[in-house]
Amino acid sequence: RVSELCPGVRLAIFTDAVPYSNDSFMQALGLFDQRLIKLDAGDADTFCAVNKPRNGVCLDDMAVALGTLDGITIQTMLITGLVDNRQSVMSDGYARLVERAGATEVQLCTIDKRPAYDGVLPVTEEELLDVAEALRAKIAAPVNVYYQDCPSAFPIDTPPCADLSRDVSVST
């Protein structure tokens, strides 16, 4: 166990929580000190367009299952272009999912690296702030915005905005 090898070290997990119906998965989530759950939409159609899950997902059931844990952080990546999830994230459906999941924080961000799919673009800082303001009126959890100054598109000869791999290195 990590607590025996490294006393005092806190563990976090970042997941889309799609296997929420698996008891072992949910039990494992409970072992982490911090659970960051990726939720990029408030409706099934937008969720599937953004995340492309292999199996069907019932967002309401997922939120109820997550609500059994002691606090989670919802992280939402806002995008535009080929898929646009801004309206879905500002919807009452998204707010209900966040509340049902018992989120203690919502983190909003946008892409800062070249995405896997062409035509997916970041939103502006102003758009992130607008969505945050709309959400703050609907949910109890604090809504925080994370943004790096990124171009509105990713030309082929332009490197991604940031190489975050240096910030998350792990040695064994």
Could you give the C-alpha distances from 25 to 16, 29, 75, 105, 125, in angstroms and in order?
A: 12, 6, 19, 22, 35
The C-alpha atoms of residue 8 and residue 129 are separated, in whole angstroms, by 35
Query: pLDDT, tens digit, for every residue of 20-44?
Result: 989 999 999 998 989 999 999 999 9
Burial class, 51, CB count within 10 angstroms (exposed 0-12 / middle 13-18 / buried 19+): middle
pTM: 0.81
Residue 112 · residue 160 · CB < 8 Å: yes
Query: pLDDT, tens digit, for every residue of 58-95?
Result: 999 999 999 999 889 999 999 999 999 999 999 999 99
**SS3 helix, strand, coil % of the chain, rounded to 5?**
35, 20, 45
Helix axes 92-100, 125-136, angle to 10 degrees: 70
pLDDT at 65: 94
